[in-house]
Structure 1
Amino acid sequence: MSDRLITHLRHVALGVPDFDKQQKFFTDMWKLTEAETDTGLSFLAAEGSPENYVVRLRRAQEKRVDLVAFGAATMADVDTLADRLIRAGVRMISEPGPMDTPGGGYGVRFFDVDGRTIEVSADVGVRVHRKVEEKESVPVRLSHVVLNSPDLDRTRLWYERHLGFALSDTLMHPRMGKVMHFLRCNATHHSIAIAQCPHTSLHHVSFEMRGIDEYMRGTGRLLRSGVRKIWGPGRHMAGNNTFSYFLDPHGNTLEYTTELERLDEDTWHPHMYDFSDPDVTDQWGTANPMDEFVAKESFNDPDRGCFVAPPV
């Protein structure tokens, strides 16, 4: 898309009641690095990523998604995007301006069609990061985030129209119809996906590992530590990426993945995959079956943050 202004996914911000427990889980178990702290805030980085942080935790009375943050190439692009959103009647939270977060930068916040807070920023300083070594089972970067919506077609069209995302693939089921859209903002198969759900909520947050061996070592480390596995290990057909899904202490689903597909955007045509085909859900056949119990966990709790801007 020639006029696409979003370049990539930056981070996800979560509000959690048991802040200390969640912070310990992300650092001790999930192997993120605490880059900076503030009163009731923790900024968590991935070792191989130049982003200052890929997860922000905030001490909150209720569990919620505070925001999903994306990057833009320039401050002028942020201004252009904000102007487009205002003219289209999108509900804004803030005007474009300087940001007081690690890395600084220039950004804007607004609500998506489901009421999630979205942030787009540019001119953000980069973090000193490093190459993740062989056999090191720590996340390299944030891979993607999947969002639950009561109307996935409406939400897909909103992201395409207002933020320039493109459809990569769709999952469908013979009895349920379309169940998930995969959307991209660059050549990566998806930075976000929209899943059909009775309510607005977080489906899962995914983290890229160095390779297959590191992905499996990370999966095994979590299993040995007693972290509850929901689904996996396996390899999806849409995106061709590996998957192992676990629950964090607040019931959010997190994923270790690797080898998410890169597309030739000039020639790519979206597929419609039948989710009832076992090869679509898991090409390897190694994961536990996808059933109503796995799906229920991915529905998560209804998001308390809809159309309520986070305090920071």
Structure 2
Amino acid sequence: METQRLITHLRHVDLAVPDFDTQVTFYEDLWGLTRVADDSGVVFLAAEGSPEQYVVRIREASEKRLDLVAFGAATAADVDALAASLLAKGIQLISEPGKVDTPGGGYGFRFFDIDGRTVEISSDVAPRVHRKIEARESIPVRLSHVVLNSPNASATRDWYTENLSFALSDTLSHPYIGDVMYFMRCNPQHHSLAIAQGPHTSLHHASFELRGVDEYMFGTGRLLRAGVRKIWGPGRHMAGDNTFTYFFDPHGNTVEYTTELELLDEDTWHPHVYDFSQPEVTDQWGTANPMNELVAKESFNDPDRGVFVAPPL
């Protein structure tokens, strides 16, 4: 019998950085997010096309780290059921289910995943008043997906499958080094989460969806003209069939503009294993700079200082 899936979608990704003002300016003025709330040393940024209260939280801290990744659940009962299930399996909770004290409120809890990163699950968050993104408006519609580096990616894949009912959509594999990435879904979107094989626990990248290919290209061009460092792209992946251009934010986190991520028929979908050494797998169009070891290394990021250390808020 298939396990009931209680997680519905990806909500937000929360970053801590030393140079707070520079980071906020990048995401607000260049990346195209909207400041919706702030406190001393904390800013909440929304995507104009998304009902989520915010998709990125930036916190001022002495060290760079990934504070947390947040997912949604449909009801408070589902939140309670997930917390009880994790506790029964001996998984460490950071907080018990209760009131969420961030924009939009809600009901949720936090815990450490197998790699020690903080995960939040919440329900009953008030939707934000949002709007339709217009043609040629090159700002994010929503947060698309997050990719996490793990020193044991297959174990992390299994952990999210067994404990949070994520399903495997596709795998990237290499003939000499084995599996390099697992694409995981919690709804018909090809992936809301992916797990990459890396040298340490860290954020691989966060991806933001634009309205369409035209808006994606206008956004890519805007960042290039502003002198933002491009890592890889523009191109179109095979797994997920989505467009991609990857950039560095001011603290060396990789962020992606994308669009047209594949929606699956989950009843008939069978996961593929794609050969990562084939250029058409990494980029169907053939327009991106070639994927090589140097490009791949850019996404390893710094070792996460937040492993098994809960963020202060």
Could you say whether these structures have the same fold, taking a TM-score greater than 0.5 normalized by the shorter chain as the test? Answer: yes
Aligned to 2:14: 13
CA apart distance, 1:244: 0.2
Aligned to 1:181: 182
Alignment of 1:18-29 (within 5 A): 18-29=19-30
- Number of the residue aligned with 1:310: 311
1:42-86: CA deviation from partner (whole Å, max 9, x where unpaired): 000000000000000000110000000000000000000000000
How far the C-alpha of 1:39 sits from its partner, in A, is 1.2
Counterpart position of 2:218 = 217
Report whether the alignment pairs 1:80 with 2:54: no
Offset of residue 272 of structure 1 = 0.2
- Structure 1 CA distance for aligned equivalents of residues 257 and 66 of structure 2: 20
What one-letter code is carried by the residue in structure 1 that aligns with 2:40?
T
Aligned to 1:94, the other structure's residue is in SS state strand
Structure 2: stretches of 5+ with no match in the other structure: none
**C-alpha contact 2:3 2:165 (8 A) present in aligned 1:** no
Q: In the aligned structure 1, how far is the partner of 2:100 from the partner of 2:230?
A: 37
1-structure distance, mates of 2:99, 2:245: 38
Residue of structure 2 in register with 1:47 after alignment:
48
The 2-side partners of 1:96 and 1:161 are apart by 21
Q: How far off its partner does 1:2 sit?
A: 5.1
- Equivalents in 2 of 1:215, 1:240: separation in Å? 14
Instruction: Return the letter of the residue paired with 1:248.
Output: D
Please, which runs of 5 or more residues in structure 1 have no aligned partner?
none
Give 1:233's aligned residue. Answer: 234
In 2, the alpha carbon distance for the partners of 1:267 and 1:166 equals 13
Residue identity in the other structure for 2:209? E
SS at match of 1:299: coil
Task: Measure, in 1, the Cα distance between the counterparts of 2:187 and 2:293.
Answer: 33
State the SS of the aligned residue for 2:68: strand
Hey, what does 1:282 align to over in structure 2?
283
* CA distances 1:213-262 after superposition (whole Å, capped 9, x unpaired): 00000000000110000000000000000000000000000000000000
Cα distance, 1:178 vs. partner?
0.3
Summarize deviations over 1:180-207 as a string: whole Å, max 9, x none: 0000000000000000001000000000
**Equivalent residue, structure 1, for 2:244:** 243
Q: Indicate if the aligned counterparts of 2:202 and 2:300 stay in contact, CA closer than 8 A.
A: yes
Q: TM-score, normalised by structure 2?
A: 0.99
| Whole-Å separation in 2 of the counterparts to 1:107 and 1:181 | 27
- Given that 2:181 and 2:197 are in contact with CA atoms closer than 8 Å, whether structure 1 keeps it comes out as yes
Structure 2 CA distance, aligned partners of 1:79 and 1:35?
29
For 2:127 and 2:228, how far apart are their aligned partners in 1? 32
1:104 matched residue in structure 2? 105
Counterpart code for 2:73: A
- In the other structure, the counterpart of 1:254 is 255
Residues 123-164 of structure 1, C-alpha deviations (whole Å, 9 max, x = no match): 000101000000000000000000000000000000001101
Partner of 1:59: 60
1:125 and 2:114 aligned: no
Provide the identity percentage. Answer: 73
Q: How far, CA to CA, are the matches of 1:241 and 1:189 in structure 2?
A: 10
Distance 1:100 1:222 in 2: 34
Q: Residues 72 and 121 of structure 2 are in contact (CA less than 8 Å); yes or no, is this contact kept in structure 1? A: yes
Q: TM-score, normalised by structure 1?
A: 0.99
2:90 maps to amino acid: G
CA distance in 2, matches of 1:220, 1:181: 29
> Matched residues in 2 for 1:54 and 1:30: separation?
12
Q: What root-mean-square deviation, in Å, do the aligned CA atoms of Structure 1 and Structure 2 show? A: 0.5
Structure 2 CA distance for aligned equivalents of residues 100 and 198 of structure 1 = 34
- CA distance, structure 2, for counterparts of residue 155 and residue 197 of structure 1: 12
Amino acid at match of 1:272: V
Any idea what SS the aligned residue of 1:85 has?
helix
What residue number does 1:138 align with? Answer: 139
User: Which residue is 1:35 aligned to?
Assistant: 36
Aligned to 1:273: 274
Give, in whole Å, the separation in 2 of the partners of 1:152 and 1:308: 20
- Letter of the aligned partner of 1:122 in structure 2? S
- C-alpha distance in structure 2 between counterparts of 1:274 and 1:205, whole Å: 23
Q: In 1, distance between residues paired with 2:213 and 2:271?
A: 26
Q: Using the alignment, how far apart are the partners of 1:152 and 1:100 within structure 2? A: 32
